Amino acid sequence: MEETPLVSILMTSFNREKYIAEAIESVLASTYTNFELIIVDDCSKDSTVQIAKKYEAVDKRVTVYINKKNLGDYPNRNEAAFKAKGKYLKYIDADDAIYPWGLEVIVKYMEQFPSAGYGLDSIEQDPSKPFPILLTPEEAYERNYFFMPVFHKAPTSCIIRTNIFKKHNGFSGKWMVGDLELWHKLSKTENVLLMPHGIIWSRIHDEQESKQTRNSSVVLFRYSVVEVESLNQKGCPLNIQKRNLIRKRIIRSQSRSILRSLLIKKNLKAVREKMKLSKLSFLSCLINAFRKY
């Protein structure tokens, strides 16, 4: 009888012929072996699929799917997740690589902490305690907003219990900010396990979508909008006083960003986009930009 994989490794791809072989081989070289590797290609126009299928032909743990139409980043991540058989979901991008010990470390940690709904790695070191660190919903929000970032992590930084991912319906599909949104959503009700650096090697190259937007102040602004929305939603684990304080700080930062785009960058398009996203008026920007909290 075939063993059910404990971990479903999810690799979404789109025109990654230069990198996907290295990504797949890094997974197959893992010291932890009870996994399946699901590759879902989003209508690549190069040889990505042909390369992936070569590995499928020689290793039964590898399965390659091809979408009938291009779904885009986050919808394709959902597509991969809902094909999974494992107890855990682990994303690895087709242009990245996982270190040989990576899976073994994160699986061991998650098995040690069954109350953790999901885990995030590549977290900044906590000077007060060693990893792994289990946080309740309230502790996760407090740490993120008052101590050091928790939720600003890409999908490749996470390992999620499959039932938890499905319970929360996965990624919403929001462009560029879907991961930040999901970590906020999960941490309303689920404990999160923080883990150290050294699991994934994330490549930076010119073909990445994030490369085109990394220095865009409007894209960065979208992250703050997600934060305000999450703080406003029902079920936020922070009390009203803390939520109000964080919101005021974020709105102050947004106001300064809008004024900077206007007065320094002289980018009226960015100003209009930011004001639309935040629903801030120019007068409120002037007022909030100089408040002290």
User: Residue 89 has what pLDDT?
Assistant: 98
What count of Cα atoms within 13 Å lies in the side-chain half-sphere of residue 281?
Answer: 3
- Largest Cα separation within the chain, whole Å, is 68
Q: If pLDDT is split at 50, 70 and 90, which confidence band does 273 have?
A: very high
One-letter identity of residue 218: V
Look at the domain 7-210 and name its fold: Spore Coat Polysaccharide Biosynthesis Protein SpsA; Chain A (3.90.550)
Domain residue ranges in the chain: 7-210, 215-288
Q: If pLDDT is split at 50, 70 and 90, which confidence band does 293 have?
A: confident
CA 44 to chain centre: 22
Please write the tens of the pLDDT for every residue from 39-56: 999 999 999 999 999 999
Mean pLDDT of the chain: 95
Considering only 190-194, 200-204, 235-239, which range has the smallest mean pLDDT? 200-204
Alpha carbon distances (Å) from 67 to 5, 72, 77, 134: 23, 10, 12, 37
User: Residue 47 has what pLDDT?
Assistant: 98
- Identify whether the C-beta of residue 40 lies closer than 8 Å to the C-beta of residue 83: yes
pLDDT tops 70 at residue 2:
no
Alpha carbon distances (Å) from 123 to 53, 134, 194, 200, 221: 34, 12, 7, 12, 22
Q: If pLDDT is split at 50, 70 and 90, which confidence band does 197 have?
A: confident
One-letter identity of residue 113: F
Q: Give the residue-averaged pLDDT of 69-90.
A: 97
* pTM, to two decimals: 0.94
